[in-house]
Amino acid sequence: EVQLVESGGDLVQPGGSPRLSCAASGFTFSNYWMSWVRQAPGKGLEWVANINQDGSAKYYVDSVKGRFTISRDNFKNSQYLQMSSLRAEDTAVYYCARVDGGDSGFYDLWGRGTLVTVSS
Amino acid sequence: DIQMTQSPSTLSASVGDRVTITCRASQSISTWLAWYQQKPGKAPKLLIYKASSLESGVPSRFSGSGSGTEFTLTISSLQPDDFATYYCQHYNSYPLTFGGGTKVEIK
């Protein structure tokens, strides 16, 4: 089955550094750009980061630059989001998504999401 | 950054109605636009890409049009399963941005 499964979300204190993981299956992971998209409770969708097929190109929304790092391991069919210096406004469901249509593309496959709550 | 503005933010409609949602970009994005449907507690689902291309498996009552800065998503005959929130997203350049969403409610 073609799917993405996120993990790693949790209740985290401000300033914390959790790592989110996304396991891909059912498709050739190494052929695709991948992305993280987040959604704060009751709010809209926000693109967070993209990574290319071999991990050599990465793009971030300004609000997370210098704090979040996207990475991937094509042997493990997984991508990751290392988060640091977390703030209350980072509280959101974080979705792993597969990019179609090139590097800055659209998302044709989504995971179910993992909730990160930043609170003391 | 390219801003995406959707209207209306909420729409009340009945089963069988024709529904149109508008998305405006702050600058030209050619046809680099996608539409998604999201239901409560679920991940978004791709409906339309490249402004007017229907994703495989999506019912033909969904259609998209537009280019440049103005785009529309049309549901030709609203079905019970269509009550959800709809988002547009541009992919012309980084940063990628989404519209604020349009919630389609039962009238």
* Model pLDDT, residue B53: 96
**B45-99 pLDDT tens trace:** 999 999 999 999 999 999 999 999 999 999 999 999 999 999 999 999 999 999 9
Average pLDDT over residues B5-24: 97
pLDDT band at A105 (very low <50, low <70, confident <90, very high): confident
Optimal mutation site among A45, A52, A61, A114, interface B, most CBs of chain B within 10 A: A45
Q: Which is it for the CA torsion A60, A57, B4, B103, positive or negative?
A: negative
Contact criterion met (CB below 8 Å) for A58 and A49: yes
- Mind telling me how many Å the CA of A107 is from chain B's nearest CA? 7
Burial of A28 (0-12, 13-18, 19+ CB in 10 A): exposed
Q: How far apart are CA B2 and CA B25, in angstroms?
A: 7
* Model pLDDT, residue A24: 98
* Model pLDDT, residue A112: 98
**A65-103 pLDDT tens trace:** 999 999 999 999 999 999 999 999 999 999 999 999 666
**Inter-chain touch B43–A112, beta carbons under 8 Å:** yes
Give the bridge partners for B74, in sequence order.
B20, B63
Contact criterion met (CB below 8 Å) for A38 and A95: yes
- Which residues of B are less than 8 Å from A47 in CB distance? 89, 95-98
**A12-57 pLDDT tens trace:** 999 999 999 999 999 999 999 999 999 999 999 999 999 999 999 9
- Which residues of A are less than 8 Å from B87 in CB distance? 44-45
* Model pLDDT, residue A101: 67
Contact criterion met (CB below 8 Å) for B25 and B6: no
Contact criterion met (CB below 8 Å) for B48 and B55: yes
List, in order, residues 6 or more apart from B64 with CB less than 8 Å away.
B33, B35, B47, B48, B51, B52, B53, B54, B71, B72, B73, B74
Give the bridge partners for B13, in sequence order.
B106
Q: How far apart are CA A84 and CA A20, in angstroms?
A: 11
* Model pLDDT, residue A25: 98
* Model pLDDT, residue A109: 97
For A10-20, b where at least 16 C-beta lie within 10 A, e where not — what string?
eebeeebebeb
For A66-95, b where at least 16 C-beta lie within 10 A, e where not — what string?
eebbbebeeeebbbbbebeebeeebbbbbb
Give me the amino acid identity at B8: P
**Confidence check: pLDDT of A104 > 80:** no
- Which residue in chain B has the smallest CA separation from A114? B43
